[in-house]
Amino acid sequence: MHSWSLAILAGVLVAFGTVSRRLHGTVITPAIFFVTAGLIAGSEVLGWFDLEVESTPIRLLAEATLTLVLFADASRIELGPLRREYAMPARLLGIGLPLTIVLGAAFAVGLINELTLAEAVILAIVLAPTDAALGQAVVTDRRLPSRIRQGLNVESGLNDGICVPLLFIALAVAEAEAGTVTDTHAVELVLEAIGYGILGGVIAGALGAMLVRLATRRGLIEPVWLQILTVGSAALAYGLAAPLGGSGFIAAFVGGFVFGALRRRAGGEVTHLLDQSGELLNGATFIVFGAVILGPALADLTWQVALYAVLSLTVVRMLPVAVALIGTRARPPTVAYLGWFGPRGLASIVFAVILVEDADLPHTQPILLAIVFAIGLSVFAHGISAQPLTDRYARWYKAHPRPPSMESVATHEHPVRWARGDGAEPR
């Protein structure tokens, strides 16, 4: 990385950290702060960043960030409570997510004419995962019904891991159709990516959990190294899968799931460093996104791509959510709230970097433009609207004389990704 680029990146992170408590609860979310800073420092304004989207540092940053986030999110899945409260997440993931991909692909084919069907599916998959970090108030404000908050929280934590294998399958199909790889080779790539990814994740997750339980039970490990052990388990999952041709992201997600399931809270809270490292890299990724990816892409924006991005954040998200909630007796404000807050963020950024680096598709450029503009639009639209719409929805819920039956069901509080540094109780 160019020396000034590193200094600017670090400076922006330090600047946000200095005022983070004051900005908490305002419309200036971390993602808005970082992307805006990146846009200003990037090549289209001040020109202080000397990086290209195809550069190795950006690839490493993106992969490390998503690896930690996938491992952390999967490790928080608590199977017991989830089995009892599966209705909302199951509907959003089992009905809403597939419908989002189908509808997103249909709009892509209709609006971006040069895309093949397989390429349209790739675009839809990349923009399907949600990132609750772009609107933290949505899943942390305790004035909201816990069932709504936790439904969005669990959905955000799981859908990026679910979309990883779907993306690899769609990429293999698209490259086979384009003739860049043979059908046999495409199948081999998919089987290796998924198979070795699962294998690496199971080994790393089981080994990490076993060592945590053993080391804490016998008093072998210092507390700080307990935190490092967890981060090392995430890195190990990626490191085992990638050299074999497996997906490090699948490995990280599977590894986190196995680690969380087998650890059974041995050693107390062991994910502080994992969470903090993920937050640090997440912030750096959004700065780079604004400086290196979003800024240059705006010059090539077309009305078709812009319209697709708008539809992706509205109709493509909101209609499937409405369908998924049929039969739940959810009130219209709840359906609208759940439908609107499907922000696109980190996973979509990393998927875009993968497309740039690895995909050999005939129409990569319009796909990337649509992804980048949708993420940029989501950062600001969802970030700015999170607190005001949360306040409005909370007032509606509080003012209801008899709490609606669907919304009033209390659910288990699954941990959220972010740790607050203001001494308040985690929400």
Neighbours of 104 (CB within 10 A): 27
DSSP string, 20-41: HHHHTTSS--HHHHHHHHHHHH
User: Shortest CA distance to 157 belongs to which of 345, 349, 351, 390?
Assistant: 345
CA atoms within 13 A on the CB side of 132: 25
Q: Does the residue 427 lie in any domain?
A: no
Amino acid 425: pLDDT: 37
Q: Does the residue 418 lie in any domain?
A: no
Residue 167: give its domain's CATH number: 1.20.1530.20
- 3-state class of 75 per DSSP? helix
Residues across the chain? 427
pLDDT tens across the length of the chain (427 residues): 446 788 888 999 999 989 988 888 778 889 999 999 999 988 777 878 777 777 778 888 888 999 998 998 888 777 666 666 677 888 999 999 999 999 999 999 999 988 889 899 999 999 999 887 776 777 777 788 877 887 888 888 888 888 988 998 888 888 887 777 677 777 887 888 899 999 999 999 999 999 988 888 888 888 888 889 999 999 999 999 999 988 898 999 999 989 988 877 666 678 888 888 888 999 999 999 998 888 888 888 889 999 999 999 999 999 999 999 998 888 899 999 999 988 888 889 989 888 887 777 888 889 999 999 999 999 999 999 988 998 898 888 888 766 666 766 655 555 555 544 433 333 3
Residue 323 CB burial class (10 angstroms; 0-12, 13-18, ≥19): middle
| Cα dihedral 162, 164, 166, 167 sign | positive
Neighbours of 332 (CB within 10 A): 8
- Count of domains in the chain? 1
Amino acid 421: pLDDT: 40
Q: What is the dihedral of CA 371, 373, 379, 380, to 10 degrees?
A: -160
Give the phi and the psi of residue 408 in degrees, each rounded to 5. -85, -5
- 3-state class of 271 per DSSP? coil
Measured between alpha carbons, how far is 156 from 323 in angstroms, rounded to an integer? 18
Q: Does the residue 426 lie in any domain?
A: no
Q: Does the residue 261 lie in any domain?
A: yes
Q: Does the residue 162 lie in any domain?
A: yes
Amino acid 159: pLDDT: 87
What residues contact residue 158 under an 8 Å CB cut-off, 6+ apart? 73, 74, 77, 89, 93
Measured between alpha carbons, how far is 182 from 159 in angstroms, rounded to an integer? 30
What pTM does this model have?
0.87
Angle at 45 between CA 355 and CA 5, to 5 degrees: 65
Q: Does the residue 424 lie in any domain?
A: no
Measured between alpha carbons, how far is 378 from 109 in angstroms, rounded to an integer? 22
Measured between alpha carbons, how far is 296 from 59 in angstroms, rounded to an integer? 18
DSSP label at residue 268 = S
Amino acid 243: pLDDT: 92
Measured between alpha carbons, how far is 219 from 350 in angstroms, rounded to an integer? 39
DSSP string, 364-413: HHHHHHHHHHHHHHHHHHHHHHHHHHHHHHHHHHHH-SS--TTTT-----
The answer to whether 100 and 350 are in contact (CB under 8 A) is: no
Amino acid 161: pLDDT: 86
Measured between alpha carbons, how far is 176 from 181 in angstroms, rounded to an integer? 5
- Domain of 161 in residue numbering reads as 3-399
Q: Does the residue 58 lie in any domain?
A: yes
- 3-state class of 274 per DSSP? helix
The answer to whether 310 and 377 are in contact (CB under 8 A) is: yes
Q: Does the residue 417 lie in any domain?
A: no
Neighbours of 171 (CB within 10 A): 27
